[in-house]
């Protein structure tokens, strides 16, 4: 029986299978089922900056609307009951989860500006979060904003949060950065201990009959694995940070690929949504069987065996292999 124990962000995990951010964390019973199925750690669903900001503005509007229209009646206004915000509910859910399970729980903040995120990060730390995931997700559509400004703002966000909490911080990124290795190095220097590659953009779907744009949340497929695996294989050879692979893990073999690329852990969400929570146990038993069959005694021994600096042909990860790949199709065209 292979040893599946690993560490991530300084946390001891019984195995490298982590339940990624998903609706599972909104229900305590589902969280307990994840732990019973063998999950090594849990990432909570994200607390979105847009939700918190919108709620704050909406609450301010309704509490103050008309307060000056009848000055003589102001002293008769009934004091409202304590209002529980989205952020308050998130913190409360985190506390409940921590009381219900023994596995590490990682809170997730999805934002693009420092603003109140430092305060929220402190609140999540106080509520018992074992680590914090900064889910930096923003699609820049303004042509007047250059990449330097975008990356500077994101580094500032990471730096401010890391300075104000003592728990480990990992950063979940999209692949659409000008120079990913440079950004990772800056973020690591700013205090980030780990990185989750990659965030998946929720793509709009065009309905050509109704002429409407619909928001969809497509689940990942095995085809999504190649991109994060490639970049983790490159980045983990350059940076002493913990990498988590997110997107495309649907089988034990997918977990093997992620670990061989250099990932400390593999996130899984879509596979559990498709196959049920108990599928986690099948992934872990399959990983154990594969490692036993191929003579790997532990995850640590297997990790990074296909990393950029450990393979004979590192150009396979770079442009030099691009032309060779294209030429492989020549025989099909003749």
Q: What is the average per-residue pLDDT within 75-92?
A: 72
pLDDT, tens digit, 9 for 90 and up, residues 9-66: 999 999 999 999 999 999 999 999 999 999 999 999 999 765 654 334 343 434 444 4
Contact between residue 42 and residue 31 where contact means Cβ atoms under 8 Å apart: yes
- Cα of first residue to Cα of last residue in the chain, in angstroms, is 50
**pLDDT at residue 82 tops 90:** no
**Alpha-carbon separation of residue 225 from 126, 140, 232 (angstroms):** 35, 25, 11
pLDDT, tens digit, 9 for 90 and up, residues 262-321: 999 999 999 999 999 999 999 999 999 999 999 999 999 999 999 999 998 887 787 645
Report yes or no on 179 lying in a domain: yes
H/E segment holding residue 246: none
| Residue 53, pLDDT score | 46
Distance CA 187, CA 156 (A): 9
Helix (H, G, I), strand (E, B) or coil at 27: coil
Report yes or no on 216 lying in a domain: yes
Q: Which range among 97-111, 161-175, 206-220, 255-269 shows the weakest confidence by mean pLDDT?
A: 206-220
Report yes or no on 103 lying in a domain: yes
| Residue 69, pLDDT score | 52
Report yes or no on 309 lying in a domain: yes
> In percent, how much of the chain has pLDDT > 90?
67
Report yes or no on 1 lying in a domain: no
| Residue 68, pLDDT score | 52
Residue 194 domain boundaries: 6-333
Q: If pLDDT is split at 50, 70 and 90, which confidence band does 7 have?
A: very high
| Residue 113, pLDDT score | 66
Distance CA 198, CA 236 (A): 14
**Alpha-carbon separation of residue 45 from 21, 39, 107, 147 (angstroms):** 4, 16, 8, 28
| Residue 58, pLDDT score | 41
Contact between residue 232 and residue 245 where contact means Cβ atoms under 8 Å apart: yes
Report yes or no on 110 lying in a domain: yes
Contact between residue 287 and residue 254 where contact means Cβ atoms under 8 Å apart: no
Instruction: Work out the mean pLDDT of the chain and round it to a whole number.
Output: 87
Q: How many domains are there within the chain? A: 1
pLDDT, tens digit, 9 for 90 and up, residues 178-223: 899 999 999 999 999 999 999 977 778 888 899 998 877 778 999 9
Q: Domain of 136: which CATH number? A: 3.20.20.70
| Residue 137, pLDDT score | 74
Q: Which range among 167-181, 249-263, 308-322 shows the weakest confidence by mean pLDDT?
A: 308-322
């Amino acid at each position: 029986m292979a040893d599946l124990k690993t560490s991530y962000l300084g946390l001891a995990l019984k195995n490298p299978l982590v339940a990624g951010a998903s609706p599972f964390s909104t229900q305590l019973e589902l969280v307990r089922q994840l732990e019973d199925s063998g999950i090594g750690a849990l990432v909570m669903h994200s607390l979105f900056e847009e939700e918190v900001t919108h709620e704050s503005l909406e609450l301010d509007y309704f509490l103050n609307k008309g307060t000056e229209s009848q000055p003589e009646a102001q002293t008769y206004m009934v004091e409202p009951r304590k209002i529980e915000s989205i952020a308050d509910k998130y913190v409360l859910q985190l506390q409940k989860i921590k009381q219900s399970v023994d596995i590490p729980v990682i809170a997730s903040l999805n934002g693009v500006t420092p603003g109140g995120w430092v305060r929220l990060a402190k609140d999540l730390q106080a509520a018992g979060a074992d680590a914090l995931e900064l889910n930096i997700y923003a699609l820049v559509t303004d042509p007047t904003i250059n990449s330097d400004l975008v990356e500077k703002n994101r580094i500032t966000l990471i730096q401010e949060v890391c300075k104000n909490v003592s728990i480990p911080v990992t950063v979940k990124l999209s692949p659409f950065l000008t120079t990913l290795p440079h950004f990772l190095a800056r973020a690591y220097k700013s205090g980030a201990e780990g990185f989750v590659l990659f965030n998946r953009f929720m793509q709009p779907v065009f309905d050509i009959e109704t002429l409407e744009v619909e928001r969809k949340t497509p689940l990942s497929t095995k085809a999504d694995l190649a991109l994060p695996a490639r970049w983790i294989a490159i980045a983990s050879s350059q940076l002493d940070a913990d990498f988590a692979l997110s997107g495309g893990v649907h089988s034990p073999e997918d977990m093997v690929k992620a670990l061989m690329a250099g990932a400390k852990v593999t996130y899984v969400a879509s596979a559990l949504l498709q196959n049920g929570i108990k599928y986690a146990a099948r992934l872990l038993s399959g990983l154990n069987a594969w490692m036993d069959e191929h003579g790997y005694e532990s995850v640590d021994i297997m990790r990074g065996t296909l990393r950029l600096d450990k393979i004979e042909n590192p150009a396979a990860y770079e442009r030099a292999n691009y032309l060779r790949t294209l030429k492989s199709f020549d025989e099909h065209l003749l």
